């Protein structure tokens, strides 16, 4: 459960998020919108990289904006990035184990291995990430997001640049995240087939404003959304 | 969809076993090579080396620790410190002072010198840790200069009274004490090597566990580290503190090795050549620190012995750094085995098919294959280097 109220972010004269109000209940939710709509800015606010000009974010009863950024990961915020950020020097295991976790010792190890297993990376957990393919690296990031009892998982274009069959596997994994972890998952992606395959609820941002929210299929048919995306004139 | 997941899940099992076996065999080979090398260093080397080169190798042991600290800062965290020789001087000062003023056992003094250096080094480095790249390098260089000015003014303790312990008028200047079990030069060389081994193990233990993961994450991507809940400032301080600690211990070792310390031994420009040799040796591997120390301390001694001007060193290091930065960002430790393998492959091909000219035309794809892989590793290394 995440409740965003009147969230505004400005970079100098540019208003990136303009009084955004939104709430997601549970499961996997999509967040779509044209380039520059403010999707990544929204993620940056949630993970603490950007301080908003105004607004509040409550997630599962906690005031997220009140936590320093490294505390948010301990609280349970997870995110992946548009450009994949698996650490090349480290093995798959170490990449997942670097995630902050309240677990210790054997339980922690088991949790990390379970996350790797869950993502179905298809490589040894000892393998250095530098030797993996692009799709596998994305899955390493997903495994990292799933480890350490997450509560809010933010996936920023996880399928960017992946071939169809790898996207299909990724979609299956993302779809299973809420069942596996109980975390609320928010997916940003331009791939509409991925969003409609994975998300029950979808919200649409345009120029920092929320223009539609609801069941994914209905939202994707909405004429405001079509106009924002395709630039079609009044139908 | 279910089938894909099932297939993906069954695949890792045999692969994991293969990897585990490979890793085990790899670890055993590595351990035996390291043990053999260390045994040779401890027992073989002193037999064949003259007094002059034994002393030089003691310096190498001490500077290997310093290079390890700097290599860790550069390679793991991306902090290009140009003040390590000043940090070393603090360690040597603390060690020398404690050895003169107290009767504590030598190892205790080493640890204390390390701790004092860690404290001072971290305090000095604290404001600088907010900076990155060129600015961090500049700040540490300036601090290094400042420390050198202080050293040059008050001089190193030579057994006189007070904290500075300097007695300029004394004719009989006492030498810095050595451990009772290692009074002779050969014994002290072994002692220094053992201390270096302990420091390498200490750093290895850090690299293989949580701090190592955090440092690797910070170096490649600070956003990813932040998102993983890694407190970047804390882990940077930790890296700086660890590097300062081992450098301080090295300072203590150096104090015992030199017996007489002069501020001129710790010139700020040495920090720059130290960074050069560390880059040449290789910052991503711990062997790189040993190579760096050999370049830093053995090579000048050898040149002096052969009667070659030390000025060649500056030129050599300059060319060496250029070479490393353009063709082998992971340093000699990565480049040398790779080139040897390539050379070996080339010789094998020449030996196997000396006459056949036509199949030789199919050889170039093989060569381009190997150079291709090395090229990509070089490129990724360059990307890493560029990032930090």
Q: What ipTM score was computed for the predicted complex, to two decimals? A: 0.84
Closest partner CB to B15 (pick from A94, A124, A169)? A124
- The two tokens of residue B26 are 């790899």
> What pLDDT, in 10s, does the model give residues B144-167?
889 888 888 888 887 776 677 777
Backbone angles phi, psi at B207, to 5 degrees: -65, -35
Whole-number pLDDT of residue B58: 94
Measured N-to-C along each axis, helices B268-281 and B51-72 cross at an angle, to the nearest 10 degrees, of 80
What is the mean predicted confidence (pLDDT) over B351-380? 49
Residue with tokens 């076996």: B21
Give the closest-approach CA distance of B127 to chain A in angstroms.
Answer: 20
Q: Is the pLDDT of residue B136 over 90?
A: no
In chain B, domain spans:
40-330, 337-387
- State whether residue A187 is helix, strand or coil: strand
> What pLDDT, in 10s, does the model give residues B182-215?
888 899 999 999 999 999 999 999 998 889 989 9
> What pLDDT, in 10s, does the model give residues B47-103?
898 989 999 999 999 999 999 999 999 888 888 889 899 999 999 999 998 888 888
> What pLDDT, in 10s, does the model give residues A13-37?
888 888 888 888 888 899 988 888 8
Identify the structural domains of chain A with CATH numbers, from first to last.
Answer: 1-76+152-163+184-235 (3.40.50.300)
Whole-number pLDDT of residue B292: 94
Decide: A146 and A76 in contact? Cβ < 8 Å.
no
User: Any idea of the CA torsion for B25, B28, B34, B38, to the nearest 10 degrees?
Assistant: -160
Topology of the domain comprising B40-330: ABC transporter involved in vitamin B12 uptake, BtuC (1.10.3470)
State whether B1 and A121 contact (CB < 8 Å): no
Closest partner CB to B223 (pick from A85, A97, A117)? A85
Residue with tokens 């793991």: B76
Among chain B residues, the shortest Cα distance to A168 is held by B1
Closest partner CB to B11 (pick from A81, A122, A125)? A122
Residue with tokens 């005031």: A63
């Amino acid at each position: 459960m995440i409740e965003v109220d009147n969230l505004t972010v400005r970079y100098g004269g540019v208003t990136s998020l303009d009084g955004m109000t939104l709430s997601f209940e549970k499961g996997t939710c999509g967040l779509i919108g044209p380039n520059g709509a403010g999707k990544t800015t929204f993620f940056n606010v949630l993970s603490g990289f950007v301080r908003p000009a105004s607004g509040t974010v409550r997630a599962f009863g906690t005031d997220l904006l009140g936590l320093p950024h490294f505390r948010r990961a301990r609280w349970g915020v997870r995110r992946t990035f548009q450009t994949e950020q698996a650490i090349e020097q480290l093995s798959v295991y170490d990449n997942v184990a670097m995630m902050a976790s309240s677990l210790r010792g054997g339980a922690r190890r088991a949790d990390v291995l379970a996350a790797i297993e869950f993502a179905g990376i298809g490589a040894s957990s000892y393998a250095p990430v530098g030797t993996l393919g692009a799709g596998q690296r994305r899955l390493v990031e997903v495994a990292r997001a799933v480890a350490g009892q997450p509560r809010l998982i933010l996936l920023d274009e996880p399928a960017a640049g992946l071939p169809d069959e790898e996207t299909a596997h990724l979609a299956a994994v993302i779809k299973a995240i809420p069942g596996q972890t109980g975390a609320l998952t928010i997916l940003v992606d331009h791939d509409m087939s991925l969003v409609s395959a994975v998300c029950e609820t979808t919200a649409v941002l345009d120029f920092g404003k929320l223009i539609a929210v609801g069941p994914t299929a209905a939202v994707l048919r909405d004429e405001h959304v079509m106009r924002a995306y395709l630039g079609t004139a009044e139908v | 969809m279910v089938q894909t997941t099932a297939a993906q899940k069954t695949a890792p099992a045999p692969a994991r076993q293969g990897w585990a076996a490979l890793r085990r065999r790899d670890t055993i080979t590595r351990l035996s090579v390291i043990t053999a090398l260390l045994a040779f260093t401890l027992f073989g080397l002193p037999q064949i080396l003259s007094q002059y080169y034994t002393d030089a190798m003691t310096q190498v042991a001490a500077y290997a620790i310093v290079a390890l600290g700097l290599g860790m800062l550069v390679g793991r965290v991306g902090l290009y410190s140009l003040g390590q020789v000043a940090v070393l001087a603090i360690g040597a000062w603390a060690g020398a002072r404690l050895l003169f003023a107290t009767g504590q056992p030598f190892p205790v003094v080493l640890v204390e010198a390390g701790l004092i250096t860690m404290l001072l080094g971290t305090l000095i480095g604290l404001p600088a840790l907010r900076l990155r790249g060129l600015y961090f390098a500049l700040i540490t260089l300036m601090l290094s200069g400042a420390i050198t000015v202080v050293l040059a003014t008050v001089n190193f303790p030579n057994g006189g009274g007070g904290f500075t312990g300097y007695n300029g008028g004394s004719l009989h200047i006492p030498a810095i004490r050595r451990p009772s079990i290692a009074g002779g030069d050969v014994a002290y060389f072994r002692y220094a090597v053992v201390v270096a081994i302990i420091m390498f193990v200490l750093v290895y233990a850090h690299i293989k566990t949580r701090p190592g993961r955090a440092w690797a994450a910070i170096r490649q991507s600070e956003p990813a580290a932040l998102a993983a809940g890694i407190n970047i400032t804390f882990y940077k301080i930790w890296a700086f503190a660890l590097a300062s600690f081992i450098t301080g211990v090295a300072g203590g070792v150096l104090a015992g090795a030199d017996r007489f310390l002069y501020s001129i031994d710790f010139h700020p420009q040495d920090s720059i050549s130290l960074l050069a040799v560390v880059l040449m040796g290789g910052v991503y591997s711990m062997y790189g620190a040993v190579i760096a120390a050999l370049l830093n301390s053995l090579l000048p001694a050898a040149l002096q012995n052969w009667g070659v001007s030390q000025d060649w060193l500056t030129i050599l290091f300059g060319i060496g750094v250029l070479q490393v930065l353009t063709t082998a960002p992971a340093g000699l430790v990565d480049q040398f085995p790779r080139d040897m393998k390539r050379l070996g492959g080339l010789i094998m091909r020449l030996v196997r098919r000396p006459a056949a000219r036509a199949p030789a035309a199919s050889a170039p794809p093989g060569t381009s294959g190997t150079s291709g892989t090395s090229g990509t590793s070089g490129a990724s290394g360059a990307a890493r280097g560029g990032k930090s």
